[in-house]
Amino acid sequence: MQPENRMSMLDRFRMMRENRFGSFLPVLFALIAIWAYFGVTEPAFLSPRNFYNLFMQSAVVGTLAVGITIVLLLGDIDLAAAATAGASAALMAVLLVAGWPGPLACLAAMTFGATLGIAQGVMTAYVGIPSFVVTLAGLLGFQGLMLKILGVNGAINMRDPFVRGITTVTLSPTVSWILAIGSIAAFATLVLRRQALRRVRALELETQAALWGQILFFGGMIVAAVATLNLYKGVPLLVVLLILMTGALGWVTTSTPFGRSLFAVGGNPESARRVGMNVRHIRVAAFGIVGLIAAIGGIVGASRYASVSFNAFAGGPLLLEAIGAAVIGGTSLFGGRGSVWNAILGALVIGSLGNGLDLSGAAAADKLMFSGAILLLAVAIDAVSRAGGGSR
Amino acid sequence: MTSGQEKVGRSAPPPHLKVTGISKRFGGVEALRGVDFEVARGEIMALVGDNGAGKSTLMKVLAGAHRADEGQFTIDGKPVTITSPHDAGDHGIQIVYQDLALCENLDVAANLSLGAEPVRPGWRFLPRFLRPLDDLAMEEKAKAAIDRLQVRTLKSVRAKVGGLSGGQRQAIAIARAAGADSTVILLDEPTAALGVAQTRQVLDLVKRMRDTGHAIVYISHNLKDIFEVADRICVLRHGANVATWDTRSTTADEIVVAMTRGLETGATNAA
């Protein structure tokens, strides 16, 4: 690597960002700064109860942000994600009212969401309409669809125990500690085994500091989260489900040929086409995944609000917060760079900000302006930390 | 050889890839009119001509990106059909375009395996595009390719391509072409955008590929580079052959005359 002589702070920061696990540093700093600030000004902010609420409040935005990240990687955008979530949730609600069992209704909603996504993908990839326009039409159209499905009242209450259970069930402390220790052990095994394989194959090795730093950081985060949540109601099932979903998508995007092709198309579509990737199929699949994840977000929302209402999903806030979360997480709007894990952290940043400002009794006007400033700041940090890195 | 000039094929090494009578029309424009071309293994064949002479069209026909209207392809004397980049790849023909087609957001190893990523054995229950990538194999493959071509300036195959110099990028694009079981490598203006030192790196790299038995077609406007690396020089003009020279027995002036005026007036003893 580079010689150590006289590196500025900025250079060090840039180097850290080049590291595989370094890309979430800015968003992590932002999160820590926000928590520190509100921790000092609002004593209630750092309470276990508030953390529980924070995770629950950020769940829908986080889910949508994870989905949107997939199309952002391609350099596309999905403005219809929130509307897709709403339409899917509405379908689920109507099916539940019609007497369908909960799991089946959820499955139907997810299929429906994926279908809406695929339809948008086909319009983008095969008809050649920019995704901004296709999904803008989707935003309007799917909101209409949602209203149509919900009927005249514009809201359906959610009493199904299965759906409600997604956000109301918490794990017992024993189960959550077993899960936590199991996942830390699995993570450490994977990291260490990889290092051993690298040594056997005579490849570049990670430094010992980076190796153990990763394990300690991951382990510390999990232990802290589980310990804090156990002081209140316990670890919500929802958090485990979201981590599983994000883990699966994170694995698909970084460790499979399909994921690699997402990054390749986002980085240089012509290059991807020349090496034989089917850019159209990839685009359609990506939009299908966003539709699916949006539907999951809709189900989570329905479960959390105990109802499916037009106002909860329509309009701007949910969609814009989800896109904001992805961007705060460091995912580029121009494609080729980003991570689904960062989207979760981005959602926590936005959630923490809203939560903290609510606690301090800030007016809606201040909340909006603060959110805008944080979004801008996050993107500015990202731009500064990358400047020069991409120049020839 | 006394005249210092020779037509394609005579007293040259036995060709690996040989095309004859290639014609290509775009609407009313005849881009190629019955062009013959050949290249042998362990040889660098330069392809030169003025703008619009048909160099790039011929290159794209060889790479399967354009389909020839007429003409025959043979590889090691056996007739083959090449109508798509896929066909060309199957016959070991790889092209490095001027724009390189690298993904700057990915690292060197990922770029070298792009589109043909190795996956871990097992996992048969998943479709191939969802099986886990074997990124360690990918790195090994990349290291081997980089070592084979002796790209010494590159420190790590895990560096992002976006942070590399123009010469290093060109080297990676060439290494990618040279890696995929290829025997023929087509290079389109590989030094056009490079400075002196980087041009040197790339020229050395091209020579090393000749030494490893590749057949190399080299398009360039830079006669100095061509005279340094090429074994033979094929001149095109107005979509047709002028002639092919042995580099050691011609001069830059002679090539320039052939490119701009052909053989009618300049060289009286045309073959």
- The phi and psi torsions of B266 (rounded to 5 degrees) equal -70, -60
Location of structure tokens 């050691």: B248
* pLDDT tens column, B123-138: 888 888 889 999 889 9
Is the model more confident about B148 or about B119?
B119
A52, with CB counted inside 10 A (0-12, 13-18, 19+), is buried
Cβ distance A272 to B105 less than 8 Å, yes or no, reads no
Across A119-128, A309-318, A352-361, the highest mean pLDDT is recorded for A119-128
Q: Measure CB to CB from residue A260 to each of B117, B136, B157 and give the nearest one.
A: B117
Asked whether residue A273 carries a pLDDT value surpassing 90, the answer given is no
Predicted confidence at residue A260, as pLDDT, reads 94
**C-alpha separations of B184 from A182, B10, B191, B231, B247 in Å:** 52, 21, 19, 15, 20
Interface of B with A in 50-109 (CB under 8 A): 85-86, 97, 99, 101-106
Question: Chain A: nearest CA to B165, how far in angstroms?
Answer: 6
With 80 as the cut, is the pLDDT of residue A62 above it? yes
The reply to whether residue B133 touches residue A272, judged by beta carbons under 8 angstroms, is no
| Least confidently predicted of A115-124, A159-168, B133-142, B262-271 | B262-271
Yes or no, beta carbons of B102 and A263 under 8 Å apart: no
pLDDT confidence of residue A8: 60
Q: How confident is the model at residue B208 (pLDDT cuts 50, 70, 90)?
A: confident
CB contact under 8 A, B105 and A271: no
CA A271 to chain centre: 28
Structure tokens at A219: 């382990």
Mean pLDDT, all residues of chain A: 87
Exposure of A348 in the CB half-sphere (CA atoms within 13 A): 23
Residue A56 to residue A52: CA distance in whole angstroms: 6
Residue A383 CA, distance from chain mean position = 21
pLDDT of res. A29: 83
- Distant-in-sequence, close-in-space partners of A11: CB < 8 Å, separation ≥ 6: none
For residue B185, the Cα-to-chain-centroid distance in whole angstroms is 4
Write phi, then psi, for B96 (nearest 5 degrees).
-110, 110
Q: Percentage of chain B surpassing pLDDT 90?
A: 20
Reference B140, options B148, B132, B128, B131; nearest CA is: B148
Picking from A20-34, B31-45, B159-173, B189-203, which range would have the lowest pLDDT averaged per residue?
A20-34
DSSP line for B30-98? EEEEEEEEEE-TTEEEEEE-STTSSHHHHHHHHTTSS--SEEEEEETTEEE---SHHHHHHTTEEEE-T
| A58, A350 contact by CB (below 8 A) | yes
Instruction: Tell whether B117 is within 8 A of chain A (Cβ).
Output: yes
Say which residues have a Cβ less than 8 Å from residue B26's Cβ, sequence separation at least 6.
none
What secondary structure, in 3-state letters, does A212-275 show? HHHHHHHHHHHHHHHHHHHCCCCCEHHHHHHHHHHHHHHHHHHHCHHHHHHHHHHHCHHHHHHC
Q: Which of A5-19, A313-327, A338-352, B192-206 has the lowest mean pLDDT?
A: A5-19
- ipTM score: 0.82
Across the interface, whether the CB atoms of A392 and B166 are under 8 A apart is answered yes
Among B214, B136, B128, which residue's Cα sits nearest to residue B175? B214
| Nearest neighbour of B104 by CB, restricted to A201, A257, A267 | A267
Contact B86, B54 (CB under 8 A): no
Pairing mode, if any, of strands B93-96 and B78-80? unpaired
Question: Where is pLDDT greater, at B85 or B59?
Answer: B59
pLDDT exceeds 80 at position A175: yes
A387, pLDDT greater than 60: no
Confidence of residue B270 (pLDDT cuts 50, 70, 90): very low
d(CA A260, CA B161): 15
pLDDT band at residue A344 under the 50/70/90 scheme:
very high
- The least confident of A9-23, A80-94, B180-194 is A9-23
Chain A residue with minimum CA distance to B104? A267
What's the CA gap between B228 and A236, in Å, rounded?
70
Mean pLDDT of A175-188: 94
**What does DSSP say about strands B232-237 and B240-246: parallel, antiparallel, or unpaired?**
antiparallel
For the beta carbon of residue B269, count every other beta carbon within 10 angstroms.
Answer: 8
How far is the CA of A51 from the CAs of A343, A355, A368, A371, in angstroms? 18, 10, 22, 19
Q: Look up residue B118 and give its DSSP letter.
A: -
Q: How many residues does chain A have?
A: 392
Q: What is the mean pLDDT of residues A9-24?
A: 59
Helix axes A48-74, A317-328, angle to 10 degrees: 80
Shortest Cα–Cα distance, B266 to chain A (Å): 41
Helices (H) and strands (E) in chain A, counts: 17, 2
Two tokens at A224?
């802290």
A174: part of which helix (H) or strand (E)? Answer: helix A173-200
Verify whether the Cβ–Cβ distance B114 to A1 is below 8 Å. Answer: no
Q: pLDDT at residue A7 above 80?
A: no
> Percent of chain A, pLDDT > 90?
58
Which string of b and e fits A211-238 if b means at least 16 CB within 10 Å? Answer: beebbeebbeebeebbebbbebebbbbb
